[in-house]
Amino acid sequence: MRYYRFFFSLFRCGLLALVFSPLFAIGQDIMIRGTSDPDGFSPEEFLSRYVQISSVSGDEQEAGRFLSSFCREQGLYVHVFTDEPDSYNFAASLYPLEEGRPNIILLNHIDVVPAGDAHGWRFPPFSGEIADGKVWGRGAIDNKAMGVMQVLASLAFLDTLAQRELPYNVTVLAVSSEEVGGDKGARLVTDRYMDLLNPAVVFGEGGAGIYDLIEAKPEKPVFGIEVIQKRRLYLEVVAAVEASGHGSVPREKYSAKELVKAVNAILEIKPKIIVDPVVQDGLGMVGDHEKFLRRKVMNNLGFYGPLLAPYFRSDPLVASMLTNTMSLTHLDNSPGAYNQIPTYARAVFDCRLLPQTSQIEFLAQIQKVIEPYEVSLNILRTSPETSSSSQGAFYYALEESIYKVYGDGVEVVPFMFVAVNDNRFFRRNDIPAYGLLPAILTNEQMESIHYFDERMPIRELYNGIDVYKQLIDNIMSIPEQEF
Ligand SMILES: [Zn+2]
């Protein structure tokens, strides 16, 4: 028993890192190559300038124009999809999109989350300060570093282009509104311009390089490539019992009471441990570096899962990877005085389904437990089923590019993202999408995302550019029939 607890706490630590990603920086002795290129800017200066243009969701236009102008000036073909104050989306490509070549899409988002209280920051949040070998400011990591890496890597192929014909186009796709659901960004672009984009593959955000994931070798960085996401389902439970009146004479049944009972029944459901093949794959690869028992468990989650279910369920992060989750996010009822029985009451659940779960069966399970109560169950929002992006030639091209840049001392594993990001809009159109920020970040740097003091290490900015260059190079040699 105690051993399981011990195992579990370590296991949890690793998952925490994998879910929220990165920990410590690699090779302190890696030199930053050339601080200025012939055009007179360095990648960190470029990122700094980009960060200085605040682009909180709904206000992306100026930052988007900055990035697209730069791409155009440097010689990429720019196609602007939308140019509005609250929706700026563009593509910057090696070849014009109209040529219809199979396209390698490098996806990033222009928008950032608000900075919060500026007093919490060491440097003003939109200063783009360059200090201590890092670029500081909101968006420095999420997701402007990625935009900068992708653009600079693509530009490196303009020379190649002059010498020989490339089999694929390469397109940096910069979109709006990722942080608020993607409606005015990736959703809009994939709804309207899929044919023009003609994607063969998409590389977007997702995992990153992290330390402390392997308990037996905490110093070994692990890169998690997101190949699949959980599915989001918002459910509403409504009680509208025809009973109202004075609180001094309670009825047998009334809306608030029925709702509370039904909600309680839902919260009492013990979710089954379900091991998605991707989760098993990724944790199994991590487990291969572990000591005996831990390795055994991590390699056989399907077998040990049910035995360890109470432990797995009791931890939010582990549970998010191994179960269908439900969070009660809203509770409200019709307005009235304190002595008035409400006629209407409502609860909302944010449910996250594992890829293998049938939505119909999931709903049936809930329906069954609320059966005794006078409530109705409604779907507020659901997302279509998507399958996992297979670990085919494109996945291996990315994996190989990471090994080329970082050496054999790192591990690369596939993983499932428990939240959602823009990759889903492509996967649901059967386009393989792989999610990774090709950089290693410390735990503190990782926690700065969506918080104070967001900062991108310059060394990792350079490494990321190199990974993308290597990736493009690798893909150019994959024959088209291989994917
Ligand atoms: Zn992001």
CA of 218 to the centre of ligand 1 (A): 26
How far away, in angstroms, is 24 Cα from ligand 1 center? Answer: 20
The Å distance, Cα 179 to ligand 1 centre, comes to 7
CA 163 to centroid of ligand 1, rounded, Å = 36
Report the distance separating Cα 139 and Cα 131, nearest Å: 16
Q: What is the pTM of this model?
A: 0.86
Residue type, 18: L
Mean pLDDT of 290-319: 90
Q: Is the pLDDT of residue 345 over 50?
A: yes
Quote the ligand 1 centre to 178 CA distance (angstroms). 7
* Angle, CA of 451, 456 and 458, to the nearest 5°: 165
Ligand 1 centroid–CA 244 distance in Å is 47
Closest CA to 178 of 462, 422, 355: 422
| Phi, then psi, of 242 in degrees rounded to 5 | -80, 70
Q: Which of 102, 108, 112, 104 minimizes the C-alpha distance to 90?
A: 108
Q: How far is the CA of 139 from the centre of ligand 1 (A)?
A: 8
Chain-wide mean pLDDT for the chain?
A: 90
Alpha-carbon dihedral of residues 454, 459, 465, 467, nearest 10 degrees?
-110
Output the CA 476–ligand 1 centroid distance in Å: 27
CB 77 within 8 A of CB 96: yes
6-15, 296-305, 455-464, range with greatest mean pLDDT: 455-464
Report the pLDDT averaged over residues 139-163: 96
- How far apart are alpha carbons 140 and 455 in whole angstroms? 6
23, 439 Cβ separation under 8 angstroms: no
Cβ atoms 474, 401 nearer than 8 A: yes
Nearest to 402 by CA among 447, 456, 454, 460: 460
Model pLDDT for residues 433-453, shown as the tens digit of each residue: 999 999 999 888 999 999 999
- 149 neighbors 126 (Cβ within 8 angstroms): no
Q: How far apart are CA 342 and CA 334, in angstroms?
A: 6
The span from the first CA to the last CA of the chain, in angstroms, equals 47
Which token pair is 72? Answer: 């155009």
Task: Say how many Å lie between the CA of residue 109 and the centre of ligand 1.
Answer: 7
pLDDT at 481: 56
* Centre of ligand 1 from the C-alpha of residue 341, in Å: 44
Give the mean pLDDT of 404-422.
95
374 secondary structure, DSSP code: S
205 C-alpha vs ligand 1 centroid, how far in Å? 7
- Three-class secondary structure of residue 180 per DSSP: helix
User: What domains lie within the chain, and their CATH numbers?
Assistant: 18-228+387-482 (3.40.630.10), 231-273+309-382 (3.30.70.360)
Q: Which two tokens stand for residue 79?
A: 């196609």
Cα–Cα distance measured from residue 5 to residue 23, given in angstroms and rounded to the nearest whole number: 24
The rounded Å distance from CA 112 to ligand 1 centre is 8
Whole-angstrom distance, CA of residue 431 vs CA of residue 438: 20
pLDDT score recorded for residue 192? 98
Q: What distance in angstroms lies between residue 394's CA and the mean position of ligand 1's atoms?
A: 22
Residue 40: the pLDDT is: 67
d(CA 323, CA 278): 14
Low-confidence winner among 96-100, 179-183, 242-246, 422-426 (lowest mean pLDDT): 242-246
- Distance (angstroms) between ligand 1 centre and the Cα of 51 equals 14
Kindly tell me if the per-residue pLDDT of 69 is higher than 80.
yes
- 62: tokens are 């100026």
- 110 Cα to the center of ligand 1, angstroms: 9
- The rounded Å distance from CA 38 to ligand 1 centre is 31
